[in-house]
C-alpha cells in the first residue's frame, strides 16, 4: 500500500513531534539514552502511526500487532509513540525515570500499558518475539510481530539463536528491524566488535533481508509492506541510521549514547527538529 | 512400598495428561527431550512441541513469548543448563514481566551419576529462589511430581520444578493432596524435626524410624515448595521440637537449609544442622555411591539429628 505524499508528510511531522518529546523528557529526567532513541524515531513512528494494527484504548486487544523494543534503553522513543498514540497522557512523559513513575528507565510491561514485554537486557527480545510469532502461527492469527534491535546488540549470541529458530519455524509473521547506527557505548561497532554484513548474516540464517535508509519514511513503509508480503521466512530490515538523528549536536556522537541534553542543548535540539517539521 | 519411579518419568506422563486436558499447554526442550521426558508430550502433540536445539537462552525467551501469546509453556532441559546458562533470561524475560512460564528441569542434583560434576547441579534451587516472584518446587517422588505438574494448569506465574534422573522410592499414593506453598507433615516429633525435600524425604523417614529405637522422637516434614516457603510449618516445628535438621540433594548454601535457617534464626532460633552438599562440586559415580560419598543418607541425617538434639539447651 503506497502512501499518499500528504500522509508521508504527516508521518515525518509526527516523527518530529516524537523527537521533540524524546529530547524534552530526557532533559527533564536528567539521565537516559539520547542517541539510540533519536535514531529509531522514524522507524517507530512508521510502526505506531501507520503500519501496526493496535488500539490504544484497548492495549490488550488480542488481535493487535506486537512491537518489542529489544534495545530497551531507547525507551523514550517508545514512550513518546505510546503517549502520542493515546495509551497514556502526553504529560506523563515528564515523569520519565522518576520514583513512582510508570515510565521506568527501561520499559516495564507490568507497569505501563502498551509495553508488550519488559526489556533492557540486550539480546533477549528477539527470542520473545519468536515465541509470540510462534503462538500466532499456532492459533492461525493474523497479527504480526515487530522487533527493533540495536546493531551493537547483534553481538549477543542469543540473537543468533533466535535468528536460527525464526527461520527454522518459518516465522513470516515476524519482522526484525535493525537500527544500524554504527555506534554502541564504547565506540563504533566496527572498532568494538565488528558486526558488519548484517544483511548477509541474516540471509545466511535463512531470513529475507531488505536494506533501507532508516530516516526515509517512504523507504521504511515500503520495507514494512514488503516484509509482510514475504511468505515462508522472517524478514530482517537493516535500517541505516544516524545515532542522535535530528540535532547536529548529537548526530554520530558516541558520547550522546547515554547523555541527556542539557538545557542549552535542548534549546538547540528543539530548534533544529522544528526546522524539519 | 519398594516401588521406584524417576521423577522425570512422572513429569513426562503428567505433562501429557495435562496437555490432553488443556490445549493451551505447550512444551519446549533444548535437545534433551528423551532425557527430560518431554518427548512423550511431543509424540502425541507434535504441533505443540518445540525443540529449539541446544540454545537454552533462546529456550527461555521463546517460552516467554509463547506465554505472552496465551500459551502455558513448559520449558525443560537439564537443571544445570536451565538455571545456569539461562539464569538472566529467566530473570529478565520471564520473572521481571511476571510471565506464566513453567520451567521443569531434570537431572538435578548429584544422582545424575556417571556424567559427573559438570552435569550435577547443586546450585539450582539457590539460583531460582533468589529471583523475585519465582515459585520453586522440589517434589519428593513420582506421585508428588505428577500432582505438582497437574497443579500447574491452575497456578499462574513463573515456576521452577526440579526433577531427577534416578529412580527413587515412592512415599505417596494417589490420595495425597499436593498444594503449592504447603508443607506436608509426614510425622510429628518432640525431640527434633527433619525438614527435607526431594529424594531426601524417604531418607528422612528412614532416619526418623531408626531414631525411635535410640529413643529420639524426630518429626519429618516434606517441604516440597521451597518458595514461597511455608514459614508457619517451620516455626511450628521449631517451637514444638526445639531442634531442626534440613536435608536436601543440593548445596547447603542457598537451598532448603538456607531457607529454613533464614526463618528460624529470625523468628524462633533453635539448633539447626544442615545435611546437603558441602560447598563442593559433584563427581562421576553410581547415584547410590555418590549419595553415600556426599553424606546424603539416612545415616547422615540420623547423625545430624543427634547433633542438633545435643545442642539443645538442657532443661533444668
Ligand atoms: C546484556 C546487556 N549488556 C550490556 C548492556 C549495557 N548497554 C546498554 S546500551 C548498550 C549499547 C547498545 O548498542 P546498540 O545495540 O548499537 O544500541 P544503539 O546504538 O541503538 O543505542 C550497552 C552495552 C545492556 N543493556 N544489556
Ligand atoms: Mg548502535
Residues in chain A within 8 Å Cβ distance of B53: 161, 164-165, 168
Ligand 1 atom with least separation from CA of A40: 20
Among the listed residues B126, B109, B138, the one whose alpha carbon sits nearest the alpha carbon of residue B198: B138
Q: Say how far apart CA A225 and CA A239 lie, in whole Å.
A: 15
Domain count of chain B?
2
Among the listed residues B162, B155, B160, B156, the one whose alpha carbon sits nearest the alpha carbon of residue B136: B160
DSSP state of B42: H
Confidence of residue A7 (pLDDT cuts 50, 70, 90): confident
Residue B44 in domain: yes
Indicate if B138 and B211 belong to the same structural domain. no
CB A127 within 8 A of CB A161: yes
Question: Rounded to whole angstroms, what are the CA distances from B42 to A80, A165, B37?
Answer: 43, 18, 9
CATH number at residue B95: 3.40.50.970
Residue-wise pLDDT tens digits, B219-268: 999 999 999 999 999 999 999 999 999 999 999 999 999 999 999 999 99
Instruction: Give how far the C-alpha of residue B216 lies from the chain's centroid of Cα atoms, to the nearest Å.
Output: 27
DSSP-H helix ranges across chain B: 7-21, 33-36, 39-44, 56-68, 79-80, 87-89, 124-129, 142-151, 200-213, 231-241, 256-267, 287-293, 298-310
Q: Which domains does chain A have, with CATH numbers?
A: 8-274 (3.40.50.970)
Sheet holding B72-76, edge to edge: B49-51, B25-29, B72-76, B102-105, B159-162, B135-137, B225-227
pLDDT at A1: 43
- Residue that the C-alpha cell 537486557 belongs to: A121
pLDDT at A274: 94
pLDDT of residue B15 exceeding 90, the answer is: yes
Indicate if B155 and B237 belong to the same structural domain. no
Indicate if B151 and B212 belong to the same structural domain. no
Q: Which domain holds residue B278?
A: 184-310
CB A112 within 8 A of CB A88: yes
**HEC readout, B43-57:** HHCHHHEEECCCCHH
Residue-wise pLDDT tens digits, B284-312: 999 999 999 999 999 999 999 999 999 99
Residue-wise pLDDT tens digits, A174-190: 999 999 999 999 999 99
Indicate if B138 and B11 belong to the same structural domain. yes
Instruction: Give how far the C-alpha of residue A226 lies from the chain's centroid of Cα atoms, to the nearest Å.
Output: 18
**Is the previous residue joined to B228 through a cis bond, with omega within 30 degrees of 0?**
yes
CATH number at residue B264: 3.40.50.920
pLDDT at B42: 98
**A:157-216 residues touching chain B, CB 8 A cutoff:** 157-158, 161-162, 164-165, 168-169
pLDDT of residue B1 exceeding 80, the answer is: no
CB B149 within 8 A of CB B133: no
Distance from the Cα of A109 to chain B's closest Cα (Å) equals 6
Cα A259 to averaged position of ligand 1 atoms, centre (Å): 14
Q: Say how far apart CA A115 and CA B223 lie, in whole Å.
A: 37
Cα A119 to averaged position of ligand 2 atoms, centre (Å): 16
Contact B61 A133 (CB under 8 A): no
According to DSSP, the β-strands at B159-162 and B102-105 are: parallel
Indicate if B81 and B151 belong to the same structural domain. yes
Residue-wise pLDDT tens digits, B53-87: 999 999 999 999 999 999 999 999 999 999 999 99
**A:45-74 residues touching chain B, CB 8 A cutoff:** 62, 66
Contact A165 B62 (CB under 8 A): yes
Among the listed residues B4, B3, B18, B1, the one whose alpha carbon sits nearest the alpha carbon of residue B146: B18
- Closest CA to ligand 1's atom 11: A184
Indicate if B290 and B205 belong to the same structural domain. yes
Q: Give the residue-averaged pLDDT of A253-271.
A: 98
Ligand 1 atom with least separation from CA of A189: 16
According to DSSP, the β-strands at B167-169 and B4-6 are: antiparallel
Residue B175 in domain: no
pLDDT at A276: 81
pLDDT of residue A9 exceeding 70, the answer is: yes
Query: Which of B169, B199, B222 is where one domain is finished?
Result: B169
From the candidates B56, B144, B169, B248, give the one annotated as an active-site residue. Answer: B56
The binding-site residues of ligand 1, defined as CB within 6 angstroms of any ligand atom, are: A 35-36, 39, 71, 73, 120-123, 150-153, 179, 181, 183-185, 243, 257
Indicate if B189 and B275 belong to the same structural domain. yes
Indicate if B94 and B153 belong to the same structural domain. yes
Q: Say how far apart CA B23 and CA B266 lie, in whole Å.
A: 44
Indicate if B9 and B151 belong to the same structural domain. yes
B56 catalytic? Reply is: yes
Query: Which of B169, B192, B210 is where one domain is finished?
Result: B169
CB B52 within 8 A of CB A165: yes
pLDDT at A125: 98
Indicate if B96 and B194 belong to the same structural domain. no
- Residue that the C-alpha cell 518530529 belongs to: A16
Confidence of residue B272 (pLDDT cuts 50, 70, 90): very high
Indicate if B232 and B139 belong to the same structural domain. no
pLDDT at A4: 63
Average pLDDT, chain A: 97
- Closest CA to ligand 1's atom 16: A152
pLDDT at A5: 64
Amino acid at each position: 500500500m503506497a502512501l499518499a505524499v500528504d500522509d508521508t508528510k504527516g508521518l515525518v511531522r509526527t516523527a518530529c513531534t516524537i523527537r521533540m518529546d524524546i529530547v524534552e523528557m530526557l532533559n527533564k529526567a536528567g539521565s537516559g539514552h539520547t542517541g539510540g532513541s533519536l535514531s529509531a524515531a522514524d522507524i517507530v513512528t512508521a510502526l505506531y502511526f501507520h503500519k501496526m494494527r493496535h488500539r490504544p484504548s484497548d492495549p490488550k486487544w488480542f488481535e493487535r500487532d506486537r512491537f518489542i523494543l529489544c534495545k530497551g534503553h531507547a525507551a523514550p522513543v517508545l514512550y513518546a509513540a505510546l503517549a502520542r498514540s493515546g495509551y497514556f497522557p502526553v504529560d506523563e512523559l515528564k515523569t520519565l525515570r522518576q520514583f513512582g513513575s510508570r515510565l521506568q528507565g527501561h520499559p516495564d510491561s507490568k507497569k505501563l500499558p502498551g509495553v508488550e514485554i519488559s526489556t533492557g537486557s540486550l539480546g533477549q527480545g528477539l527470542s520473545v518475539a519468536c515465541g509470540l510469532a510462534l503462538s500466532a502461527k499456532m492459533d492461525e492469527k493474523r497479527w504480526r510481530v515487530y522487533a527493533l534491535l540495536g546493531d551493537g546488540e547483534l553481538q549477543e549470541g542469543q540473537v543468533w539463536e533466535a535468528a536460527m529458530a525464526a527461520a527454522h519455524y518459518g516465522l513470516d509473521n515476524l519482522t526484525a528491524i535493525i537500527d544500524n547506527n554504527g555506534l554502541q557505548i564504547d565506540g563504533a561497532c566496527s572498532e568494538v566488535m565488528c558486526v558488519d554484513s548484517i544483511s548477509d548474516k541474516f540471509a545466511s540464517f535463512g531470513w529475507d533481508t531488505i536494506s533501507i535508509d532508516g530516516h526515509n519514511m517512504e523507504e521504511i513503509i515500503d520495507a514494512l509492506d514488503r516484509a509482510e508480503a514475504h511468505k515462508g521466512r522472517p524478514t530482517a530490515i537493516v535500517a541505516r541510521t544516524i545515532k542522535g538523528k535530528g540535532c547536529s549536536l548529537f548526530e554520530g556522537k558516541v558520547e550522546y549514547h547515554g547523555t541527556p541534553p542539557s538545557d542549552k542543548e535542548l534549546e538547540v535540539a528543539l530548534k533544529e527538529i522544528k526546522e524539519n517539521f | 512400598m519398594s516401588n521406584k519411579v524417576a521423577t522425570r518419568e512422572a513429569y513426562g506422563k503428567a505433562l501429557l495428561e495435562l496437555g490432553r486436558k488443556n490445549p493451551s499447554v505447550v512444551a519446549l526442550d533444548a535437545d534433551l527431550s528423551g532425557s527430560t521426558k518431554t518427548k512423550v508430550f511431543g509424540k502425541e502433540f507434535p504441533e505443540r512441541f518445540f525443540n529449539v536445539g541446544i540454545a537454552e537462552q533462546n529456550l527461555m525467551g521463546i517460552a516467554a513469548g509463547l506465554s505472552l501469546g496465551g500459551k502455558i509453556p513448559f520449558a525443560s532441559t537439564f537443571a544445570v543448563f536451565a538455571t545456569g546458562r539461562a539464569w538472566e533470561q529467566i530473570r529478565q524475560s520471564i520473572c521481571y514481566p511476571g510471565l506464566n512460564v513453567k520451567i521443569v528441569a531434570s537431572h538435578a542434583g548429584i544422582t545424575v551419576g556417571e556424567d559427573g560434576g559438570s552435569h550435577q547441579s547443586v546450585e539450582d534451587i539457590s539460583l531460582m529462589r533468589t529471583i523475585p516472584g519465582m515459585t520453586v518446587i522440589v517434589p519428593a517422588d513420582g506421585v508428588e511430581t505428577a500432582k505438582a505438574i497437574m497443579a500447574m494448569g491452575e497456578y499462574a506465574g513463573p515456576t521452577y520444578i526440579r526433577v531427577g534422573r534416578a529412580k527413587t522410592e515412592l512415599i505417596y499414593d494417589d490420595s495425597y493432596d499436593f498444594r503449592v506453598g504447603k508443607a506436608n507433615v509426614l510425622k510429628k516429633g518432640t525431640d527434633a524435626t527433619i525438614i527435607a525435600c526431594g529424594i531426601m524425604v524417604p531418607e528422612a523417614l528412614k532416619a526418623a524410624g531408626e531414631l525411635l529405637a535410640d529413643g529420639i522422637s524426630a518429626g519429618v516434614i516434606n517441604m516440597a515448595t521451597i518458595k514461597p516457603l511455608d514459614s508457619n510449618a517451620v516455626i511450628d516445628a521449631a517451637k514444638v521440637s526445639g531442634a531442626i535438621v534440613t536435608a536436601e540433594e543440593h548445596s547447603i548454601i542457598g537451598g532448603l537449609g538456607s531457607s529454613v535457617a533464614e526463618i528460624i534464626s529470625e523468628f524462633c532460633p533453635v539448633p539447626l544442622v544442615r545435611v546437603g552438599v558441602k560447598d563442593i562440586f559433584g563427581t562421576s559415580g553410581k547415584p547410590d555411591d555418590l549419595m553415600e560419598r556426599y553424606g546424603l543418607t539416612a545415616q547422615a541425617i540420623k547423625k545430624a539429628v543427634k547433633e542438633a538434639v545435643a545442642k539443645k539447651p538442657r532443661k533444668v
